[in-house]
Chain A
Amino acid sequence: MLAALPRKASRRFLSALRSVELPLGQVLYQPGSASRHVYFPNDCTVSLVAVADSNSALEVGLVGKDGMVGIPLALGVLTSPVRALVQGAGSAMRMTSARFGRELKHNPPLQRALNRCAYVAMATAMQSAVCNKAHRLGPRLARWLLMAADRVASDHFQCTQESMALMLGVRRSGVTAAASRLQRRGLIRYSRGAMQILDREGLLAASCGCYEVIRSLERTAGVRVAA
């Protein structure tokens, strides 16, 4: 995304970024409260979670490498409607919202790049929404694991069963059963929060078509996601 900027603008933009470590479970945004920073993950992943009530929530986006947390700020809105939750610990670069707002004003190429990014995020949210409604848990879990692996650019990542259940909007026991089925088929290895994808092709075959749809959206809009 930053590669789209003219060099001078890019240098100035980069100089305003600070590195930060994000531990698992840290809440970056709460729905309705002001967003103080935008985040560009290096090797962490951040879930965007829509909240229905204290018991029900659902993941509507997963941001990692090459993505940005803080799309509302790019659209001129200072609060986020969703909770942003660190789903895989790691590092990120961040910038204050105020500085980010100033950068955007002077940077039409950046605004355009972010608009595309926002559009893909929205399309991904739509796809996940319908997928959650229409597809069975097994293929959905496979889709989610592939998306998570893309966003850390690695076949190893951390994720708890609680978080997977929250992401997919199901009970924890459902996730446990679905994950063990994938494990028995030799597609993944999962133990104490450490996920490893053993057979990517097999997992792709086990997932619903939504994964490929999301990938191709990202490609057509020029948003790079690590393979």
Chain B
Amino acid sequence: MRAMEIVRSVAANTPKNNRLLAALPEDDYDALLPFLEPVVLPLGMALYESSGVQSYVYFPTSSIVSLLYVLEDGSSAEIAVTGCEGLVGIALFMGGETTPSRAVVQSAGHGYRIKAAALKTRFDGGGSLQYLLLRFTQALITQMTQTAVCNRHHGVDQQLCRWLLLSLDRLPANDLVMTQELIANMLGVRREGVTEAAGKLQAAGLIEYSRGRITVLNRPQLEARVCECYAVVKQEYDRLLPPGVMERA
């Protein structure tokens, strides 16, 4: 991201760019506001390491964070993506002490973070905040389970389309700042597989990929090629989260 872009986007950034925070009733939002601090989330930054203790919960506004599950032998695969529609760090309020997954920024941008204890106190108080976060958790579980079955049964081409669409739904813009290496990590496939699949999409005029930036040119065509796993996840997020959370600005 160029320097001017960063300056501009920091200035324009407010916690309400995170649609989950924006969906809170005014009272709940105001109660959280003093505890939210803005953060820059550069590409590749790890918000959590697996089995590490988490100190903060993150609310992305213009970035995407990928939850990666790491096995003992070092291999990993993405199990979910979260952007401006959600938060990263559900273990903190769900009662898990540590997280078994890694959280890595896979599209650079901004967000807000809050100290774990501050969020947990308000979550345990019940009310709208708890209700909303639990529903988000259920939506996230759906994304994880659908990603699992998709990874098992569908080809790289379809998985790449799913991944691009899920990511786009979680960003305010139409392009992603990222590398093929990262995509390959996300999908748990070899880099050449991603290069080939991305090449096909580019040749068909659906995306443009250049110097670490993917721009989606033809979304309807991308939707026509994706497996049903995308729709399953999308519908569940639409249904479970308040109106506006999944709508693109």
Contact = CB atoms under 8 A, between A and B. Distances in A.
A, B co-complexed: yes
B134 A76 contact: yes
Interface of A: 31, 48, 50-53, 56-58, 60, 71-72, 75-77, 81-82, 108, 112, 115-116, 118-123, 125-135, 169, 209-210, 213, 217, 220-221
> 6 tightest CB-CB pairs across the interface, nearest first?
A129-B148, A116-B95, A56-B153, A119-B94, A50-B149, A81-B142
A130 B146 contact: no
Interface residues of B, number: 48
A129 B98 CA distance: 19
26 contacts: A31-B232, A48-B145, A52-B227, A52-B228, A56-B149, A56-B153, A58-B153, A60-B148, A75-B134, A81-B138, A82-B145, A115-B95, A116-B94, A116-B95, A118-B94, A122-B141, A122-B144, A125-B148, A126-B69, A126-B144, A129-B69, A129-B145, A129-B147, A130-B188, A133-B77, A221-B97
Contacts of B73: 134, 209
Interface of B: 67, 69-73, 75-77, 79, 90-91, 93-98, 100-101, 124, 126, 131, 134-135, 137-138, 140-142, 144-154, 188, 227-229, 232, 236, 240
A75 B137 contact: yes
B149 A57 contact: yes
Q: Is the interface of A mostly helix, strand, loop or mixed?
A: helix
Contacts of B149: 50-52, 56-58, 60, 169
A31 B228 CA distance: 13
Contacts of B146: 50, 52, 81
Contacts of A71: 138, 141
Output the residue of B75, B91, B144 with the most chain A CB within 10 A.
B144
